[in-house]
Amino acid sequence: MRIAFLGLGLIGGSIARALRRRGPDGPGRETPEVVAWSERGTGPRAALAAGVIDAVAAAPGAAVEGADLVVLAAPPMACVALLGRLGPDGDLGRRLARGATVTDVASTKSALLAAARTSGAPYAGGHPMAGRETAGFEAADGDLFRDRAWVVTEAVNEGDPARVRALAGACGARVVELDAATHDRLVAAISHLPLLAAVALVEAVAGGEEVRDDWGAAAGLAASGWRDTTRLARGDVTMGAEIALTNAPEIAARLRDLRTAIDAWIEALEAPGGPDADAVRRRLAAARRRLVG
């Protein structure tokens, strides 16, 4: 079993760490040979030095040569470009082993599925639902996906979803089967909207490209509430941008729902005759119930 990572940052590195730990542990379990390539090469070199992978490839073609499973662990738009080259006529696809499967870990799925359909790459999409605001292999953690959801989407061109389910299992994750469109709709709500809401909150309080006059004074009063609510806005910019760009309509629809909720808050606070105490209490209580049951 040969596994090739194209991209090896926080997410790919965490999977590679889980595989390496798992390999020698499981009695009778085959230890995969793991090779990695990335655009800048820093993740693969660090992983090799840490004994987490077996080889660093100088080019993506050398990485996928003879691979049974290719894991695209780069930002979404880079994955789309790689899928375009992983079809039977592509420069990368021609080097895959017979029966190989390409999967990925990107936060959006429909754009990647469409790219695989177009190129003919043997693809079965995946999305492990965990992350951190710290990017790069240095932050990788073999327990990152333990007990977390790992979405597996529909396969095309004889990509084998069983390989993806096995990868999720090796990381201790639980598999959730969803079609790509449903994934993108749900993840827009539970993950992409919180990201852009955090960014919008920072823009409203600290300012966007122009800093607000009172940001310094306000920042001096910040406590854990501010830190947690805005944590996602500290994440990797390329990753966030490519998520937004490859799932824009679903995210925009959720942003409209958020705006509707905010408008209703403004209305409650600015009600004629003073703030609407009943509405304020009722809405805080309802939101709390959704979270704590």
Residues 272-291 that bind a second copy (CB under 8 A): 274-275, 277, 280-288, 290-291
Q: What is the DSSP string of 217-253?
A: HHHTT--HHHHHHTGGGGS-HHHHHHHHHHSHHHHHH
Compare residues 50 and 206 and give the one whose CB is closer to a second copy: 206
- The minimum distance between CB 191 and a second copy, in angstroms, equals 6
> Which range touches a second copy (CB under 8 A), out of 6-14, 39-47, 59-67, 213-221?
213-221
What are the residue ranges of helices labelled H in the chain? 10-25, 42-49, 60-64, 76-85, 110-119, 161-170, 180-187, 193-206, 215-219, 224-229, 237-246, 248-269, 277-292
Span 98-117, contacts to a second copy by CB under 8 A? none
- The minimum distance between CB 206 and a second copy, in angstroms, equals 4
Which member of 1, 97, 129, 139 binds a second copy (CB under 8 A)? 129
Compare residues 51 and 273 and give the one whose CB is closer to a second copy: 273
- The minimum distance between CB 97 and a second copy, in angstroms, equals 32
Compare residues 162 and 269 and give the one whose CB is closer to a second copy: 269
> Which range touches a second copy (CB under 8 A), out of 21-29, 58-66, 161-169, 225-233?
225-233
> Which range touches a second copy (CB under 8 A), out of 5-13, 18-26, 60-68, 237-245?
237-245
The secondary element (H helix, E strand) that includes residue 101 is strand 101-104
Long-range CB pairs of 208-212 (<8 Å, 24+ gap) are: none
> Binders of a second copy: how many residues, by CB under 8 A?
93
Pull the structure tokens for residue 245.
């760009």
Q: Which residues contact 16 (CB under 8 A, 6 or more apart)?
A: 5, 8, 34, 36, 47, 52, 53, 140
> Which range touches a second copy (CB under 8 A), out of 22-30, 81-89, 92-100, 217-225?
217-225
Q: Is 22 exposed, middle or buried, given 0-12, 13-18 or 19+ CB atoms closer than 10 A?
A: middle
Report DSSP state, residue 207. B
Compare residues 89 and 291 and give the one whose CB is closer to a second copy: 291
Span 142-201, contacts to a second copy by CB under 8 A? 148-149, 151, 176, 182, 185-187, 189-191, 193-201
Nearest to 12 by CA among 37, 33, 30, 29: 37
Residue 39 within binding range of a second copy, rule CB under 8 A: no
- The minimum distance between CB 147 and a second copy, in angstroms, equals 11
Distance CA(55)–CA(36), nearest Å, equals: 7
Which member of 209, 213, 272, 273 binds a second copy (CB under 8 A)? 209
- The minimum distance between CB 153 and a second copy, in angstroms, equals 13
Span 243-262, contacts to a second copy by CB under 8 A? 244-245, 248-249, 251-252, 254-262
Strand partners, 156: 123
Nearest to 192 by CA among 246, 113, 115: 246
